[in-house]
């Protein structure tokens, strides 16, 4: 990955051709994509370069809903005041990490150089509606994407637990 943050620009639209999710990658390039990001994250105290340079990422470890095995995924760390939450662009189905968090809310978070246990609260009902209204008004990229899909975006609040 290119670690030169000067070569990156702020993505303001889901359809931005420079956004990582709109770039064309071969199957070979996609294999291990998350593995490379995870390795770089861990080797650099939570910092990564390339397409994610300057972004605040976290690593979320969930327990597989079906497999029972740990799964690690890099996600953008989002905040509402002091409340840490995550979301994700979705296509035809919700991501595995979302289903895993619903099935087993005990997760592990790596943020910066810190690793800690947390609880994943998958928002639903009125709580989802209120939080989504706020999140979409505060995050133009999420709002832009939500306007293009029928399913509501996944919203999960992450709360640190005592070690």
34 domain residue, yes or no:
yes
Instruction: Read off the pLDDT of residues 70-117 as tens digits, 9 standing for 90 and up.
Output: 999 999 999 999 999 999 887 778 899 999 999 999 999 999 989 999
Residues spanned by the domain of 155 = 23-160
pLDDT category at 3 given cuts 50, 70, 90 is very low
Task: Compute the chain's Rg from CA coordinates.
Answer: 16
pLDDT of residue 39: 93
Is 132 within the bounds of a domain?
A: yes
Q: Which residue has the higher pLDDT, 152 or 27?
A: 152
CATH code of residue 98: 2.30.110.10
Within-domain flag for 17: no
Residue 22 has pLDDT above 70, yes or no: no
Record the pTM: 0.80
**Distance of CA 144 to CAs 13, 47, 155, Å?**
6, 26, 16
Domain membership flag for residue 117:
yes
The pLDDT of 125-138, averaged and rounded, is 95
pLDDT of 69 reads: 96
Q: Is residue 10 part of a domain?
A: no
What DSSP line would sit under 40-73, residue for residue?
A: HHHHTTT---GGGTT--EEEEEEE-TTT--EEEE
């Amino acid at each position: 990955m290119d670690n030169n943050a000067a070569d990156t620009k702020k993505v303001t639209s889901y359809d931005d051709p420079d956004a990582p999710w709109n770039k064309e990658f071969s199957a070979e390039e996609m294999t291990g994509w998350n593995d490379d990001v995870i390795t770089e994250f861990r080797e650099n105290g939570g910092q990564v370069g390339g397409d994610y340079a300057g972004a605040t990422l976290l690593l979320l470890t969930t327990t597989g809903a079906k497999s029972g095995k740990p799964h690690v995924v890099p996600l953008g760390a989002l905040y509402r005041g002091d409340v840490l939450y995550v979301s994700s662009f979705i296509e035809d189905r919700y991501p595995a990490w979302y289903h895993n968090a619903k099935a087993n809310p005990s997760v592990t978070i790596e943020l910066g150089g810190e690793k800690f246990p947390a609880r994943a609260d998958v928002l639903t009902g009125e709580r989802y509606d209120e939080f989504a209204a706020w999140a979409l008004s505060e995050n133009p990229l999420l709002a832009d994407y939500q306007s293009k899909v029928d399913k509501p975006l996944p919203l999960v609040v992450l709360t640190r637990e005592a070690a």
